[in-house]
Amino acid sequence: MRVRKLLDSFNYAFEGIIYALKTQRNMKIHFIVTVFVLVASLFFNFSKVEIILLLLTITLVLIAEMINTSIESTIDLITDQYNIFAKIAKNVAAGAVLIAALNAVVVAYLIFFHRLNPYTHMVLTRVRQSPIHITFIAFLVVIFITIGLKAYFGKGTAMQGGMPSGHAAISFALATSITFISENMFIGTLSLLMALLVCQSRIETRIHNVYEILVGAVIGIIVTVIFFQFFS
């Protein structure tokens, strides 16, 4: 029962993310920029501190936007009449998002500018070749693509049902990464078999159909293969 409640809490949280992504224009922009920044990070030899700053900045912007959405929805639920205090609450929440976004611009400027400087343009040809880094970024991109497609199709929830299967996408992304990193067909085959078992469990419990599983698996494999082919 406790495990079920825990899974439900995660499911509700992902539903909130999908709702914000599906209904809020700015949230869509933030997601697109997030994917772009994560991919761009592969071209620069960032330090661990810089990567942490990027992730914290991205997280701050997304959290601020979701809190703003929550405040707006709550106010709209309470009253549909003009109220000066409702206006103030919405404006302050929007101001918080603006501050977070401006902070993100400053952080991006400080981290990226000197690398884009004409005197250091050769940095653009360098690629982050760490398999762990590539796997991490590919994993995040797969998650963002999966959530975006679930929001687009509007079927199921983030962790249960819907198009495509997030479990299939993530399991096959990890299996593909393990295959590339290990460079061992036996280990790679075992990883793919584990991914297939995950997919089988989703079909047997009727959470997903074969088509949703197939699309999720293809997304996980293709995204990961592209990252390892171009960035390793």
Annotated binding-site residue numbers: 12, 65, 72
DSSP annotation of 206: T
CA distances from 162 to 9, 149, 153, 157 (A): 18, 9, 8, 6
List binding-site positions for ATP. Answer: 12, 72
- Of 223, 214, 178, which is closest to residue 196 (Cα–Cα)? 214
Q: Which of 65, 183, 204, 212 is labelled catalytic?
A: 65
Query: Please, are residues 100 and 64 in contact by the beta-carbon 8 Å criterion?
Result: yes
CA distances from 111 to 118, 125, 158, 227 (A): 15, 17, 33, 22
- Of 189, 185, 195, 177, which is closest to residue 130 (Cα–Cα)? 177
List binding-site positions for substrate. Answer: 65
Distance CA 151, CA 69 (A): 16
Residue type, 194: M
Distance CA 32, CA 37 (A): 9
- Sequence-distant (6+) residues with CB within 8 A of 133 are 42
183 among known catalytic residues: no
Catalytic site positions: 65
